[in-house]
């Protein structure tokens, strides 16, 4: 069998087995990389050389810092204070939840850490208001997956790492365009869901007032945490410093000032995500070396033309993202195909990359994904629900994930992903 064909088969097998057996895809990817090298008679050093050390440090640095800030309550109290600003204007609460989720995700934690804060909070608000969490928690998810495209957040860092291996016209504008265009797309999705669930008709509630009223002030440790977040953002955005190294520096200063608990934070770091990203990066590096990406590109080329390419790529990444990690699987798999696809079809590489990232991230509402499943789990804890009600919630959130991916694909079709290129 051709080694390029085998590499793609192993890639599909890794994702499928990981999903079906609920195993870490990163570890499976490492095993597949080892098998591919052995079968192909390749140099074993390819496995070690494929490890994304720069990406790993950037992710670990930011995840570690924001685990510290999550543990000492900085992020949670910040979100509550911001929501309390709406007062009796209940119809604004879903909008504020979206904005807060976006900001918290964008300044560094990324979608995973931000969702850990915003999903329980959004579910609590929904329960207090006597409504299902469909709209409120959708705002939390969409805000976090839009914010994570920031250059200093999870998806932005991952895409930035992939861009370092590429060279194409307009490359220097890709991360900026990604954040702006995908934010526009997510706002459209959020607006549609807001209208569907009649967010404009929400009525004031005493329970909501109690839930959003914040009397406590930031303590010393939390104020230092806010200063640390500000230093991180300024250092990365205005001075071009490494987000990972800045994260470690801010974290160690906060630790020396006894503002955070290092041991608790280390347990909160999502190590499974780091293993996932690292393992998949190694497998994709070997797949690229043996011609697997070129083969995948040619398959995709046969299905598309310039007009529908963004639409098809958004659907492809979105559908894949319903059942696997957008950051750990979908983006590393599809983004490397973008330059060749763009060159052959006449699109810009940035447009194709944005289509891929939009589909991969906006599918986070899927109950197969951590976001959708967390909502159902937290709501089931707050309110006693029957198995039938859980099944209905499962179907509703999967329906919302399908809707959002389709909206994202339409955004690609009408040219939104060409804006700001």
Would you state the structure tokens that stand for residue 38, as one six-digit string?
Answer: 């052995």
- Cα–Cα distance for residue pair 282/340, rounded to 1 Å: 21
- Cα–Cα distance for residue pair 417/420, rounded to 1 Å: 8
**In 3D, which of 289, 99, 97 has the Cα closest to residue 208?**
97
Alpha-carbon distance values, 412 to 144, 190, 203, 409 (Å):
20, 17, 36, 5
Kindly report the number of other CB atoms within 10 A of residue 14's CB atom.
Answer: 25
Q: HSE on the CB side for 246, CA within 13 Å?
A: 20
Whether residue 109 contacts residue 74, with contact meaning beta carbons closer than 8 Å, is answered with: no
**Between residues 52 and 140, the one the model is more confident about:** 140
Would you state the structure tokens that stand for residue 247, as one six-digit string?
Answer: 């994260």
Alpha-carbon distance values, 267 to 37, 247, 271, 272, 275 (Å):
34, 17, 9, 11, 15
pLDDT above 70 coverage of the chain, percent? 93
The sign of the CA dihedral 404, 408, 409, 410 is positive
Which residues fall within 8 angstroms of residue 290, CB to CB, at 6 or more apart?
A: 3, 4, 7, 36, 40, 42
Name the pLDDT band for 31 (thresholds 50, 70, 90): very high
Mean pLDDT, residues 228-244 taken together: 79
Got the DSSP string for 2-46? Answer: -HHHHHHHHHHHHHHHHHHHT--HHHHHHHHHHHHHHHHT--THH
**Between residues 24 and 180, the one the model is more confident about:** 180
Average pLDDT of the chain is 84
Residue 204: what pLDDT?
63
Mean pLDDT, residues 311-324 taken together: 83
With 70 as the cut, is the pLDDT of residue 87 above it?
no
Break the chain down into helix, strand, coil percent, rounded to 5: 80, 0, 20
Would you state the structure tokens that stand for residue 122, as one six-digit string?
Answer: 């959004």
List, for residues 359-409, the tens digit of each pLDDT value. Answer: 998 887 887 676 777 787 778 766 777 767 777 887 888 899 989 999 999
Would you state the structure tokens that stand for residue 58, as one six-digit string?
Answer: 């950037």
Neighbour-count burial of 164, counting CB atoms closer than 10 A to its CB (0-12 exposed, 13-18 middle, 19+ buried) = exposed
Burial of 228-246, coded b for 16+ CB within 10 Å and e otherwise, reads bbeebbebbeeeeeebbeb
Which residues fall within 8 angstroms of residue 348, CB to CB, at 6 or more apart?
A: 169, 170, 342, 418, 421
Whether residue 204 contacts residue 71, with contact meaning beta carbons closer than 8 Å, is answered with: no
Whether residue 297 contacts residue 337, with contact meaning beta carbons closer than 8 Å, is answered with: yes
With 80 as the cut, is the pLDDT of residue 325 above it?
no
Residue 212: what pLDDT?
55
Query: In 107-242, which ranges are continuous DSSP H helix?
Result: 110-129, 134-147, 154-163, 174-196, 206-212, 220-239
- Cα–Cα distance for residue pair 266/253, rounded to 1 Å: 16
Name the pLDDT band for 35 (thresholds 50, 70, 90): very high
Name the pLDDT band for 323 (thresholds 50, 70, 90): low
Residue 70: what pLDDT?
78
pLDDT above 90 coverage of the chain, percent? 28
DSSP 329: I
Mean pLDDT is highest, among 236-245, 262-271, 380-389, 402-411, for 402-411
Would you state the structure tokens that stand for residue 8, as one six-digit string?
Answer: 């793609």
Tell me the pTM.
0.73
Residue 90: what pLDDT?
80
Kindly report the number of other CB atoms within 10 A of residue 22's CB atom.
Answer: 7
- Cα–Cα distance for residue pair 348/168, rounded to 1 Å: 9
Residue 85: what pLDDT?
72
Residue 130: what pLDDT?
76
Degrees to nearest 5, angle at CA 89 with 87 and 90: 100
Largest Cα–Cα distance in the chain?
Answer: 69
């Amino acid at each position: 069998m051709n080694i390029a064909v085998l590499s793609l088969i192993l890639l599909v097998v890794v994702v499928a087995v990981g999903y079906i057996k609920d195993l870490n895809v990163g570890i499976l990817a490492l095993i597949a990389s080892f098998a591919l090298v052995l079968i192909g008679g390749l140099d074993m050093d390819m496995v070690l050389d494929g490890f994304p050390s720069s990406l790993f440090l950037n992710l670990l640095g930011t995840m570690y810092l924001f685990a510290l800030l999550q543990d000492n309550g900085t992020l949670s109290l910040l979100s509550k204070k911001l929501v309390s600003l709406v007062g009796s204007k209940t119809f604004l609460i879903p909008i504020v939840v979206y904005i807060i989720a976006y900001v918290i995700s964008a300044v560094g934690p990324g979608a995973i850490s931000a969702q850990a804060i915003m999903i329980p909070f959004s579910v609590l608000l929904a329960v207090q208001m006597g409504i299902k969490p469909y709209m409120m928690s959708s705002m939390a998810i969409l805000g976090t997956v839009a914010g994570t495209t920031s250059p200093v957040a999870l998806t932005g860092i991952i895409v930035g790492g992939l861009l370092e291996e590429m060279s194409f016209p307009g490359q220097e504008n890709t991360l900026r365009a990604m954040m702006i265009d995908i934010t526009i797309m997510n706002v459209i999705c959020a607006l549609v869901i807001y209208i569907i669930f009649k967010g404009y008709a929400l009525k004031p509630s005493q329970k909501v007032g109690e839930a959003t009223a914040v009397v406590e002030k930031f303590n010393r440790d939390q104020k230092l945490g806010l200063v640390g977040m500000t230093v991180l953002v300024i250092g990365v955005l205005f001075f071009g410093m490494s987000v990972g190294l800045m994260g470690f520096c801010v974290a160690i200063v906060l630790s020396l000032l006894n503002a955070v608990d290092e041991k608790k934070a280390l347990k909160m770091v999502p190590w499974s995500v780091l293993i996932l990203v690292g393992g998949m990066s190694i497998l994709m590096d070997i797949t690229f070396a043996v011609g697997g990406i070129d083969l995948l590109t040619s398959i995709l080329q046969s299905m598309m033309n310039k007009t529908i390419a963004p639409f098809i790529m958004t659907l492809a990444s979105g559908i894949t993202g319903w059942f696997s990690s957008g950051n750990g699987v979908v983006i590393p798999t599809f983004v490397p195909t973008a330059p060749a696809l763009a060159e052959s079809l006449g699109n810009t590489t940035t447009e194709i990359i944005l289509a891929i990232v939009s589909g991969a991230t906006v599918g986070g509402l899927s109950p197969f994904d951590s976001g959708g499943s967390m909502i159902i789990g937290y709501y089931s804890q707050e309110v006693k629900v029957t198995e039938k009600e859980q099944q209905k919630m499962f179907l509703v959130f999967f329906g919302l994930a399908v809707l959002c991916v389709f909206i994202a694909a339409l955004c690609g079709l009408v040219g939104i992903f060409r804006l700001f290129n």
